[in-house]
Amino acid sequence: MTQKNKNIFYILMILAMSGWGASWVNAKVLSSYINEYEMIVFRNFFTIITLAPILVYYKKYFYISKKSLILCIIASILMIAYMKCYFLGTKYGTASLGGALVTTLIPINTFILMALFYKRKIQKKDVFALIIGGFGVLTILHVWTFNMQEVFTAHNLYFLCGSLLWALVTIVSSKSTNTSPMVFSFYMYVIMSIIAAVFFVDFSAINFSSFDSVFWINMFIVSVISTTFATTIYFIGIEKLGANEVSTFIFLVPVFAISFSAIFLKEEISPSIVIGTIMTLFAVKILNNIKIFKKKQLTNEKS
């Protein structure tokens, strides 16, 4: 990939991360129109019909192995539970808190679970990072006020559970072999929609007449921009640039989530959220050996 193409893709990655950050704001707005299961069905419907042509264009064939299908079903059930936590957390809490806490805690939880279940060796730097991350999470939760009723609120617990559930989805998805991550995600959205539609959604009770332009704009962003576009760019980025380089862009997600929450929802961003987010991002950087700034090469690479 030429430097010009890289620069274009960097811009697309930034837009993708802004989409992920915006999804917290979208969920907050949509919570006044529909419940969590209805959101799963509506969001996934638009995601599926926009993602399918992309899979065809990039020749990501729809074949999925039996093993991957079983893993996909498990991941779908976990994702429904995550979506419930994600939706209710933003409904009763703030989008800025959810975007900061969940997106920074997911890679930390993933690291801990991998260490527990797969006996991943924990180095001294990892222990240091986990301590910093722990203090960061406590700071985001404003635990230093020592007001336990404020700390252990329902929306905080939803966010904490959500970050754990997404980490489990990440681990389960990583076990899928010989199946494109985009194809795996496609089937996951399909299975999630079927389960939610059959067991949890009463379509006759939905007040479709209340769906105004605000609803459709936010639904379009959360499904097409935040899911189809952002996920596609992310996976293509892994293929073109590598996982390590792409992972640095994830640091932008909580920044966008906090910024959009302040701009569009007029949420007051407390210093504890900002400081705690910086601490947890620093912990994620150490745990995943992410290099934000790379040394410039003195000589050009041979093509």
Q: What is the pLDDT of residues 57-67, one digit of tens each?
A: 988 888 899 99
Nearest one of 174, 121, 134, 124 to 284, comparing CA atoms: 134
The string over 51-78, giving b where at least 16 C-beta atoms fall within 10 Å of a residue's C-beta and e elsewhere, is beebbeeeebeeebeeebeebbbbbbbb
* CA torsion through residues 89, 93, 98, 102, sign: negative
Distance CA 48, CA 228 (A): 8
Q: Where are the domains of the chain?
A: 3-287
CA distance 25 to 95: 6
Q: Is 106 exposed, middle or buried (0-12, 13-18, 19+ CB in 10 A)?
A: buried
Count of beta carbons in the 10 Å neighbourhood of residue 149:
6
The band of 292, judged by pLDDT with boundaries at 50, 70 and 90, is low
DSSP three-state, residue 32: coil
Alpha-carbon span 250 to 243, nearest angstrom: 11
Q: Which residue has the tokens 């050996």?
A: 289
Return the structure tokens found at 289: 């050996």
pLDDT score of 291: 66
Mean pLDDT of 131-157: 84
In the chain, alpha helices (H): 3-30, 36-57, 66-92, 95-117, 124-140, 148-151, 154-174, 181-199, 213-220, 230-241, 243-247, 252-264, 271-287
> How deeply is 172 buried, as exposed, middle or buried, from its count of CB atoms within 10 A (0-12, 13-18, 19+)?
buried
| Encoded amino acid at 281, one letter | L
- Whether pTM > 0.75 for this model: the answer is yes
Cα separation, 29 vs 10, whole angstroms = 29
Which amino acid is it at 69? L
212: CB partners within 8 A, 6+ apart: none
- Give the confidence band of 7 by pLDDT, cuts at 50, 70, 90: confident
Which of these, 34, 23, 51, lies nearest to 232 by C-alpha position?
A: 51
Task: State CA 189 to chain mean position distance.
Answer: 14
Is the CB of residue 222 less than 8 Å from the CB of residue 43?
A: yes
Across residues 49-55, what is the average pLDDT? 95
In this structure, which amino acid lies at residue 135? F
What pLDDT was estimated at residue 302? 45
Average pLDDT of the residues of the chain = 89
Q: Which residue has the higher pLDDT, 278 or 289?
A: 278
Kindly tell me if the per-residue pLDDT of 299 is higher than 50: no
pLDDT given for residue 293 in this prediction: 57
